[in-house]
Amino acid sequence: MKNILHIISSPRQQESSSIKLGNRIIEKLLTQYPGSSVTTHNLSQTHYPPLQEAQIAAFKTPPNALNAEQQQLLSLSNKAVAQLAEADILVIGSPLYNFTIPAGLKAWLDHIVRPGLTFTYENGKPQGLLKVQQVYLALAANGVYSDGPTKHWDFAEPYLRHILGFIGLSNITTFRVEGGGIPGIMETALEKGLESVQL
């Protein structure tokens, strides 16, 4: 049995390919690990505000030196980190927006990448402090970026791999629904993406 955390960042809900793809990954995981628990965290419902000066200062303050106001400022971030620390498996659904991740997903990342809590530097080298066993990325885009001439236009997947690796999550598998805006590919894009999910 595993604790599965599903992070949703598309605001589209019913129509969203990245959510459908994430759900397919979870169906497969539940077959593999019957009785697992699934927590869904929808970033359209929980907003992570852009970081402000006081919050950045609170991030850098040792826990025992935090005042009441700083503790309050950190509460959303602390909850997000705790949720992640409890997960065995993380599924992140992301649309490609302007060749990278949506602002809501970046904001969530800004709240979970925390010095001394989710990463540290030892002898000048970064060390991730989280221990999620497996991460699946469920990406959706109108273009095709898994291969071919526009592969390097996708800044979402390399960025997610880098930042998740930075906090210790380096076992990452990517699935995609792609070509959703290209005639001749779009007609079967969703079906192909869903079928590609073999764990």
Ligand X SMILES: Cc1cc2nc3c(=O)[nH]c(=O)nc-3n(C[C@H](O)[C@H](O)[C@H](O)COP(=O)(O)O)c2cc1C
| Positions that interact with ligand X (CB under 6 A) | 10, 12, 16-19, 95-99, 140-143, 180
- Give the start-end residues of each E strand in the chain: 3-8, 37-42, 89-95, 119-122, 125-128, 134-140, 172-177
Lookup result for tokens 């998740």? 164
- Find the shortest distance in angstroms from Cβ 122 to ligand X: 37
- Find the shortest distance in angstroms from Cβ 2 to ligand X: 24
- Find the shortest distance in angstroms from Cβ 98 to ligand X: 5
- Find the shortest distance in angstroms from Cβ 5 to ligand X: 18
Q: Which is nearer to ligand X, 10 or 23 (CB)?
A: 10
- Find the shortest distance in angstroms from Cβ 33 to ligand X: 25
CA distances to 19, 28, 79, 110 from 14, in Å: 8, 20, 27, 27
| Nearest alpha carbon to residue 128 among 84, 87, 83, 169 | 169
Kindly write down the DSSP assignment for every residue of 106-159, as one continuous string: HHHHHHH--BTTTEEEETTEEEE----SEEEEEEE-SS--SSSTTGGG--HHHH
Question: Which three-class secondary structure state does DSSP give residue 61?
Answer: coil
Q: Which is nearer to ligand X, 15 or 53 (CB)?
A: 15
Cα 36 from Cα 181, distance rounded (Å): 35
> By Cβ distance, which residue is nearest to ligand X?
95
Q: Which is nearer to ligand X, 12 or 151 (CB)?
A: 12
Q: Which is nearer to ligand X, 81 or 90 (CB)?
A: 90
Q: Which is nearer to ligand X, 12 or 47 (CB)?
A: 12
